[in-house]
Chain A
């Protein structure tokens, strides 16, 4: 289980994440939602160890992640928000490099890479440089790299960005299947419809603070709202979207 306890992150005077606590359990896909600049990606980066916390603690399976960061890194897979890859490498070379960095046995990794590339429809372009890949293809490479070592914890920051419908459907089902097999899956996304279909449990962040942490079903009942979009609008959207759009049009026409 992944557990965040009173996690804070401050950049000088700006508080990016303020006293955030929640848990992501095995067998569940946990959705991590919030408007732009609410602190989602910062939290993700703290969970991966890319940036440090100002205070609080992050635990995985009861152990603080910073106690043995190296061992913790062996156990998670991460898909970042932006598909930043080494564009001078081919898709295959990149995945082989990730396998080597993770110290995976060569033969088994090669088989796994081959299988992932075939299943995700990248096998034909495995020898093409990543600079020639579309955004969706790069996203699939990131996903393959995150799953290559059979991680216990899967962290995904906007994994559906740039994916076509068929691929998005595959990834949705893949996440559910991974959770069903006992993995901890934390998914950050703006696509509320997808989150509603994939996640059982959501954490909603607003202005760097957690404003909701429950199952979608319970939130619907408690707030007496039919969809996750309505719940999200109520908790995290301060302005009335209709009046804002009207003001934008007025401004342009003025």
Chain B
């Protein structure tokens, strides 16, 4: 009986790690999970190519050591990032919710069975995430990283060391997230916990993304032993697990020994503390949910919002603003993109800080003059801000409630597109532009600041327009169909192209800011691009019906020859 209950609950909890209410009627949870898994496998494939580069014999020993540490560290850090993101995304499914309590508590199911099923489901999710990411590099890496002359035992030992390290690194980061969540659930009243929990989730997200992108590269014997790097090594767990791998692999260098110890101690503390706190808070939460209703959001401060044009634009715009600000899921999506943007911005600003000599007179201060670092940073933030908001628009909230938009006379795609455009501009371009206006007008003389702000505004509008091409929806009201298009690949391709262009663009803009004719031409070109993008959006959405249900791509494409 208990075994059957465990099996049933395990399956339910496992498939509820992802929010099922997003899905279109034709969407399947297995497809969505398959899409995530394939994305991780694809990432792993890229790493395995990098690992294969280490297998050549022609590399000097020292270069080989640094390269292998670099790749090991990259694999460990990426595993930790992915597990961290997985933990943040499945944040809400760590504890039982009101639905679980209402359905399961009246049934003769022991709380311990529910608890074990939940833990097993979470562990499966974690294991699948680590395995999917490492399945491809997990074979060539041990081959390349096994110590030279380690004999027959070397390869299986390296293989075991690789997988133990990856699972240990994943478990460590997961336990940290779960432990923090459990501690908050234990210490705070439930309503307070639910409020704080949302902030913790976003904070964890930002910490994982920025740590991954910003952590210094210390994978060399000199960097690992340098005194000034010791504080970095003490607070960067990815290096601890590099030490653990080297220890298990039998290729331990003295510089890594303290890090390996730190990894074992950290893992033991995180594991035992989390087991204790999580189990305690799980049973406590179960009781509290029955006693208290779920969270009642506090948002009385947002009673007034400006009008955004006509009544339809205002309705859709205000609905979008409220949804993005109040929905944790959507805030999280935005935080992911803003986190990447912020990490890159910090990177550019850091580079500028390195160039700047301390104690230089203000006339020669790099910060006080237009520079490529700040130009690129502002454009990068704008790009990721618009992109994150647009991705959020595609994810529904309370899908079953979208009937109200279907029975009211909201007009056609053109009217709704105009409303969506305004909402996108208000939610992404306006706040990012305003923040940069404050920074640039404070740092720079008025003309270059104003000149760049004009460019930034036009670029923001252009990116918004490009992302809206083919958008035939009202934000947050259309279901999500996984596997329809290769969104992630397109996204990273766009990021790649953008990365190549933005640096060149900054140099051109720096020149143009001091040459009125060039500046006028640049503005004209950008306005032309906006006009073209707008025309393309209009063409792509012309004569199409408003979409509330994401449809699969047709098996047979119509050529539309009758239109010619």
B310 nearest CB neighbor, chain A only = A103
B379-407 near A? 1/0 per residue, CB < 8 Å: 00000000000000000011011011111
A73 nearest CB neighbor, chain B only = B409
Is there an interface contact between B315 and A88, defined as CB atoms closer than 8 Å? Answer: no
Closest CB-CB distance, B551 to chain A, in whole Å? 15
Is there an interface contact between A74 and B409, defined as CB atoms closer than 8 Å? Answer: yes
A109 nearest CB neighbor, chain B only = B311
Is there an interface contact between B398 and A84, defined as CB atoms closer than 8 Å? Answer: yes
What number of residue pairs across chains A and B have CB atoms under 8 A from each other? Answer: 84
A103 to B318, CA, bound (A): 15
A50-67 near B? 1/0 per residue, CB < 8 Å: 100000000000000000
A48 to B397, CA, bound (A): 23
B285-314 near A? 1/0 per residue, CB < 8 Å: 000000001101101100100000011101
A70-82 near B? 1/0 per residue, CB < 8 Å: 1101101010101
**CB of A215 closer than 8 Å to a CB of B:** no
Q: Return chain B residues, CB-CB under 8 Å to A93.
A: 318, 322
**CB of A145 closer than 8 Å to a CB of B:** yes
Is there an interface contact between B400 and A129, defined as CB atoms closer than 8 Å? Answer: no
A50 to B546, CA, bound (A): 12
Known: A70-B409, A88-B397, A102-B409. A129 touches B404 (CB 8 A): no
Known: A93-B322, A101-B312. A145 touches B409 (CB 8 A): no
Is there an interface contact between B296 and A102, defined as CB atoms closer than 8 Å? Answer: no
Contact of B404 among A101, A103, A131 (CB under 8 A): A101
B327 nearest CB neighbor, chain A only = A88
Contact of A129 among B296, B318, B397 (CB under 8 A): B296
Closest CB-CB distance, A100 to chain B, in whole Å? 3
Within 8 A of B (CB), among A34-58: 48-50
Closest CB-CB distance, A234 to chain B, in whole Å? 35
Is there an interface contact between A48 and B312, defined as CB atoms closer than 8 Å? Answer: no
Is there an interface contact between B315 and A100, defined as CB atoms closer than 8 Å? Answer: yes
Is there an interface contact between A70 and B314, defined as CB atoms closer than 8 Å? Answer: no
Is there an interface contact between A84 and B405, defined as CB atoms closer than 8 Å? Answer: no
B293 nearest CB neighbor, chain A only = A132
Is there an interface contact between A87 and B398, defined as CB atoms closer than 8 Å? Answer: yes
Is there an interface contact between B409 and A86, defined as CB atoms closer than 8 Å? Answer: no
Is there an interface contact between B322 and A84, defined as CB atoms closer than 8 Å? Answer: no
A103 to B314, CA, bound (A): 10
Q: Return chain A residues, CB-CB under 8 Å to B322.
A: 88-89, 93
A82 nearest CB neighbor, chain B only = B400
Known: A88-B397, A93-B322. A101 touches B315 (CB 8 A): yes
**CB of A161 closer than 8 Å to a CB of B:** no
**CB of B368 closer than 8 Å to a CB of A:** no
Contact of A131 among B294, B303, B319, B323 (CB under 8 A): B294
**CB of B410 closer than 8 Å to a CB of A:** yes
A200-236 near B? 1/0 per residue, CB < 8 Å: 0000000000000000000000000000000000000
Q: Return chain A residues, CB-CB under 8 Å to B311.
A: 99-104, 106
Closest CB-CB distance, A25 to chain B, in whole Å? 22
A86 to B404, CA, bound (A): 10
**CB of A197 closer than 8 Å to a CB of B:** no
Classify chain A's interface size: 20 to 34
Within 8 A of A (CB), among B305-348: 310-312, 314-315, 318-319, 322-323, 326-327
A180-197 near B? 1/0 per residue, CB < 8 Å: 000000000000000000
Is there an interface contact between A86 and B294, defined as CB atoms closer than 8 Å? Answer: no
A48 to B322, CA, bound (A): 27
Is there an interface contact between B407 and A48, defined as CB atoms closer than 8 Å? Answer: yes
Is there an interface contact between B397 and A86, defined as CB atoms closer than 8 Å? Answer: yes
Is there an interface contact between A85 and B297, defined as CB atoms closer than 8 Å? Answer: no
Is there an interface contact between A101 and B403, defined as CB atoms closer than 8 Å? Answer: no
A132 to B296, CA, bound (A): 6
Q: Return chain B residues, CB-CB under 8 Å to A85.
A: 398, 401, 404
A70 to B315, CA, bound (A): 17
A82 to B403, CA, bound (A): 11
Q: Return chain A residues, CB-CB under 8 Å to B411.
A: 70
**CB of B253 closer than 8 Å to a CB of A:** no
Is there an interface contact between A101 and B303, defined as CB atoms closer than 8 Å? Answer: no
Q: Could you say which of B297, B311, B323, B411 has the most chain A C-beta atoms within 10 Å of its C-beta?
A: B311
A70 to B408, CA, bound (A): 8
Within 8 A of B (CB), among A91-121: 93, 97-104, 106
Q: Return chain B residues, CB-CB under 8 Å to A167.
A: none
B311 nearest CB neighbor, chain A only = A100
Is there an interface contact between B318 and A97, defined as CB atoms closer than 8 Å? Answer: yes
Is there an interface contact between A78 and B401, defined as CB atoms closer than 8 Å? Answer: no
Known: A50-B403, A101-B315, A104-B311. A88 touches B297 (CB 8 A): yes
B297 nearest CB neighbor, chain A only = A129
Closest CB-CB distance, A114 to chain B, in whole Å? 14
Known: A86-B397, A97-B318, A101-B311. A50 touches B296 (CB 8 A): no
Is there an interface contact between A50 and B406, defined as CB atoms closer than 8 Å? Answer: yes
Q: Return chain B residues, CB-CB under 8 Å to A127.
A: 300, 303
**CB of A15 closer than 8 Å to a CB of B:** no
Within 8 A of A (CB), among B356-378: none
Q: Return chain A residues, CB-CB under 8 Å to B314.
A: 100
Q: Return chain A residues, CB-CB under 8 Å to B323.
A: 86, 88
**CB of A128 closer than 8 Å to a CB of B:** yes
Is there an interface contact between A88 and B407, defined as CB atoms closer than 8 Å? Answer: no
Within 8 A of A (CB), among B523-542: none
Known: A88-B327, A103-B312. A71 touches B297 (CB 8 A): no
A101 to B294, CA, bound (A): 30
Q: Return chain A residues, CB-CB under 8 Å to B410.
A: 101
Is there an interface contact between B403 and A98, defined as CB atoms closer than 8 Å? Answer: no
Is there an interface contact between A97 and B401, defined as CB atoms closer than 8 Å? Answer: no
A103 to B400, CA, bound (A): 23
Q: Return chain B residues, CB-CB under 8 Å to A129.
A: 296-297, 299
Is there an interface contact between A98 and B409, defined as CB atoms closer than 8 Å? Answer: no
A49 to B323, CA, bound (A): 26
A99 to B293, CA, bound (A): 30
A74 nearest CB neighbor, chain B only = B409
Closest CB-CB distance, B395 to chain A, in whole Å? 14
A103 to B326, CA, bound (A): 25
Is there an interface contact between B401 and A73, defined as CB atoms closer than 8 Å? Answer: no
A157 to B183, CA, bound (A): 46
Q: Return chain A residues, CB-CB under 8 Å to B405.
A: 101
Contact of B407 among A73, A103, A128, A131 (CB under 8 A): A73
A127 to B301, CA, bound (A): 11
Is there an interface contact between A103 and B409, defined as CB atoms closer than 8 Å? Answer: yes
B296 nearest CB neighbor, chain A only = A132
A48 to B409, CA, bound (A): 11
Is there an interface contact between A102 and B408, defined as CB atoms closer than 8 Å? Answer: yes
Q: Return chain A residues, CB-CB under 8 Å to B299.
A: 129
Given contacts A85-B404, A101-B404, 6 further A-B contacts (CB under 8 A): A70-B411, A88-B327, A97-B315, A100-B311, A101-B410, A103-B409
The 7 closest A-B pairs by CB, nearest first: A100-B315, A84-B400, A73-B409, A101-B408, A100-B311, A88-B326, A84-B401
A-B contact pairs, 15 of them (CB 8 A): A48-B406, A50-B403, A70-B411, A76-B407, A78-B407, A84-B401, A87-B398, A87-B401, A89-B319, A99-B311, A101-B409, A103-B312, A129-B296, A131-B296, A132-B293
**Which A residues lie at the B interface, using CB under 8 A?**
48-50, 70-71, 73-74, 76, 78, 80, 82, 84-89, 93, 97-104, 106, 127-129, 131-132, 145
